Amino acid sequence: MKLKIMEVKLIAFVLLQAVTVRSQVNPEMCRYPLGMTGGQIQDEDISASSHWSESTAARFGRLDFDNGDGDGAWCPDIMSEPDGLKEYLQVDLRSLHFITLVGTQGRHADGMGNEFAQRYRIKYSRDGSSWVGWHDRKGRQIIEGNSNAYDVVLKDLEPPIIARFVRFMPVTDHSMIVCMRVELYGCEWLDGLMSYSIPDGHQMIYRGLDVFFNDSVYDGASAERSELTKGLGQLTDGTWGLDDFLHSHSYNFWPGYDYVGWNNRSFPRGYVEMIFEFDHVRNFSSMKVHCNNMFSRGVRMFRQVTCYFRSGSEWEADPVTFRPAVDRVSQSARFITVPLGDRTASTIKCRFHFSDLWMLFSEVAFQSGSAVYNTSMAPRDDPTHKVDDSNTRILIGCLVAIIAILLAIIVIILWRQVWQKMLEKASRRMLDDELTARLAIQTRAFSFHHSSLSSESGSTSNSTYERIFPLCADYQEPSRLIRKLPEFSQSTERLGKLSKGNKAFAAGGSDGAPHYAEADIISLQESSDNSIYSITAVNMNFFAGTDSSMREFPRQKLTFKEKLGEGQFGEVHLCEAEGMQDFLGEDLSIEGNNESPLLVAVKTLREDANKNARNDFLKEIRIMSRLRDPNIVRLLAVCVDTDPLCMITEYMENGDLNQFLSHPMYFLCLSYTTLIGMAVQIASGMKYLSSLNFVHRDLATRNCLVGKKYTIKIADFGMSRNLYRGGYYRIQGRAVLPIRWMSWESILLGKFTMASDVWAFGVTLWEILTLCKEQPYSQLSDEQVIENTGEFFREQGKQVYLPKPPCCPDRIYKDLMLSCWRRNAKQRPSFQEIHAQLLESLA
């Protein structure tokens, strides 16, 4: 009987899995080399406008494919084209692909060549006849390419491209011959959507703020700026909007950026019509539409959608209509799956009916059967065919389900425990593989120059399943980049030696070695050998165990108000906490907050979090429970008796400092004194942490919160968790280390001290005084940031410092900021000194 219940559950599970297979592309996963390097792209599919000589023909333009045949790259005959700007290397991928990344390399030819393209543009086409010039989200067409003949330079395409044909067009001023080797990364575009036509999105004014819902990356035509036709854009860029449409995934864009949205008043018929054109006739099972549902601001998902189908020239008479269940409770953005009843079409027209003043979409995806019909044999005209086909599919589905169930039962019963362990190991291995995969391309290119690395190039695989993982802008994996510095690429032996002491390089290899992030607090003392550091835990007692004063709060007394944000662990919600004042007793009077019920921020561990994430979450609680300072976010209580684990912290009304400063609303009204006042508070919080010997490791504006009257508190004590352990952080495609905020010794030697926090403070101060307009060293690529770190280490005067922010007095820049970035950590000021200096500057 027990087995039967389990069986039913499993069937349900398997069927559910089968039904919910993601059709929409996830750009974070869709990063496979498409076959220039691996040879899956045939020579005849690589062509060019011209070539310099037979030995530099198009077919040699494969990234890192120097096989002795030819000259090792494609080089155009720039003399044949007077302005040289129309030369291109064209790749035909044979079918539509979602392309997220491109890689380029120059002509090295075993040291004989020194030609490369410093800059290039990309054009693409879905049908081979109409071509579109790619540009980034800010409209820039030129991509910075190579600076030498051997290194591979990878560039994320933001927005990604959906195309079959791609052209690389070197931009040259004729002063040098250019040669290129290229690779494309992405995955097949299974939707088959060639274009959509929609009315362009509208503009909303929300509390005086301009919110733009236009389709800003649409690559088709725009008639009178209102009808968009023959293109793809934000609805297919793989980026889903956040619950709060005012916020976007990137801080650098305007409110509403991630959504395309329409106002009901402009549509007298009460619906928005969209037409979707596909590559050929397909059999559609469903459509997924990602909608916003922030009804408190007049936005709701659609009330009803009616879709019409066309395989030839006429629309079929019987449309499919679907009404999603109304949700008056949750304001979360979500995917709505619209069943399309296996209808056959090459064009679909859908009318989405408003149910409120606004309707906002961020993504539309289609699921269509792999069976492709051409118009002449459309199954809707042939009932026998349809029945046969659906029977076969049901049969295959059942067989697959039964096999899956049997396998699952065997695995679950026999291997439950072993399996879990294996999974843990596998995820760890995946991490290494992924790193090796990424390194493989780079090391192979590099090995021409530094033969000492040749042993590593042996680990290269040509598999199509090597994925290049994305790294978010603020956090990078430095070890892959560090290997490029001559001092750190000499031998793996040296890396091993370093990793023994400081453990920073453990991510790159040496198995079993603990990683530096495993110690809560580290104090690194230089030993006689300059390159080896020992790690000792300081004040471990201080952070060991949970503070007895951190009590369990009854979770039923928390009332959800709205979602504040999303972090690595899960979501952060604004809640009312009934009776919190009594719960905390006189303690709360420090904050002078007598509102009842009290508003609090509740950080919840996501339900699917693994053991590592759970431990790290508890560790953050342990650390925070011991910290008590006006400029440190205070942990008020916890809910850890049952799942999901929650930490309840004081609510900071204005969110994180980065978002706050970069918000257009505050652009004009923040005075210099207010900004320095914020820095003073951060310095004060850090002074407190340094008095405890506590190293924060991730000080940045994004990790400071803003309350009433510009109160600033330091938050996010998550860096004390082990970033390298398990697959948790990596699988999310996120964060490794914040290299742009890190001192040279943290990056190169894995040394995290109060002095490296001081370095990060200097960068944070720079962010504040530049109103977080851009990332630190925004003109440098990640590789160049690491190269610059090498210059700090070498100290030959070639290191680049962050520039003086406009309106920043000389004494703040020279005497304070630059002193935070001194090479010798001992010569950097302490937080006590920084605090005093900032206060003095205000006097």
Query: Where in 176-270 does DSSP place strands (E)?
Result: 181-188, 193-199, 203-206, 209-212, 221-223, 227-231, 260-263
Q: Using alpha carbons, list the distances in angstroms from residue 669 to 252, 324, 495, 666, 672.
A: 19, 44, 50, 5, 10
Q: How many CB atoms lie within 10 A of CB 835?
A: 21
Here the tokens at position 373 are 């019909």
CB of 503 within 8 A of CB of 464? no
Q: Binding segment for ligand ADP among 349-357, 470-478, 558-566, 768-776 (CB under 6 A)?
A: 558-566
716 binds ligand ADP (CB under 6 A): yes
567 binds ligand ADP (CB under 6 A): yes
Comparing CB distances to ligand ADP, the nearer of 239 and 649 is 649
**At its nearest, how many Å lie between ligand ADP and the CB of residue 247?**
9
Give, as one character, the DSSP assignment of residue 150.
S
| Closest alpha carbon to 233 in 267, 276, 266 | 276
362 binds ligand ADP (CB under 6 A): no
Query: Where in 356-460 does DSSP place strands (E)?
Result: 358-369
633 binds ligand ADP (CB under 6 A): yes
Residue 766 region, left (φ>0) first, then alpha (ψ -120 to 50), else beta?
A: alpha
Q: Binding segment for ligand ADP among 121-129, 307-315, 568-576, 787-795 (CB under 6 A)?
A: 568-576
Query: Binding to ligand ADP (CB under 6 A): which residues in 718-747?
Result: 718
300 binds ligand ADP (CB under 6 A): no
**At its nearest, how many Å lie between ligand ADP and the CB of residue 739?**
17
Q: What's the rounded Cα separation, in Å, for the pair 43 and 3?
A: 55
Give, as one character, the DSSP assignment of residue 325.
P
Q: Which of 71, 698, 716, 782 is catalytic?
A: 698
Comparing CB distances to ligand ADP, the nearer of 510 and 654 is 654
**Mask for 319-338, x = binds ligand ADP (CB under 6 A):** --------------------
Q: Choose, by CB under 6 A, the member of 550, 705, 754, 785 that binds ligand ADP.
A: 705
Comparing CB distances to ligand ADP, the nearer of 93 and 605 is 605
Does the annotation count 200 as an active-site position? no
Q: Choose, by CB under 6 A, the member of 470, 496, 514, 565 that binds ligand ADP.
A: 565
Burial (CB count <10 Å: 0-12, 13-18, 19+), residue 137: middle
**At its nearest, how many Å lie between ligand ADP and the CB of residue 598?**
12
Burial (CB count <10 Å: 0-12, 13-18, 19+), residue 220: middle
Ranked by CB distance to ligand ADP, the top (closest) residue is 567
Comparing CB distances to ligand ADP, the nearer of 618 and 780 is 618
**At its nearest, how many Å lie between ligand ADP and the CB of residue 98?**
27
**At its nearest, how many Å lie between ligand ADP and the CB of residue 776?**
18
Comparing CB distances to ligand ADP, the nearer of 141 and 659 is 659
**At its nearest, how many Å lie between ligand ADP and the CB of residue 710?**
15
β pairing state of 533-537 and 558-566: unpaired
Comparing CB distances to ligand ADP, the nearer of 649 and 746 is 649
Comparing CB distances to ligand ADP, the nearer of 66 and 757 is 757
Q: Binding segment for ligand ADP among 47-55, 158-166, 403-411, 714-722 (CB under 6 A)?
A: 714-722
564 binds ligand ADP (CB under 6 A): yes
Here the tokens at position 485 are 């510095």
What 303-306 contacts at long range (C-beta under 8 Å, 24+ apart), as own/partner pairs, is 303/353, 303/354, 303/355, 304/352, 304/353, 305/338, 305/350, 305/351, 305/352, 305/353, 306/271, 306/350, 306/351, 306/353
Comparing CB distances to ligand ADP, the nearer of 316 and 591 is 591
Q: Choose, by CB under 6 A, the member of 157, 345, 364, 601 that binds ligand ADP.
A: 601
Size of the site for ligand ADP (CB under 6 A): 19
Q: What's the rounded Cα separation, in Å, for the pair 426 and 431?
A: 9
247 binds ligand ADP (CB under 6 A): no
Q: What's the rounded Cα separation, in Å, for the pair 685 and 831?
A: 9
End-to-end CA separation in angstroms for the chain: 79
Query: Binding to ligand ADP (CB under 6 A): which residues in 640-659?
Result: 649, 651-652, 655-656
CB of 286 within 8 A of CB of 338? yes
Active site residues: 698
Site residues, ligand ADP (CB under 6 A): 564-569, 572, 601, 603, 633, 649, 651-652, 655-656, 705, 715-716, 718
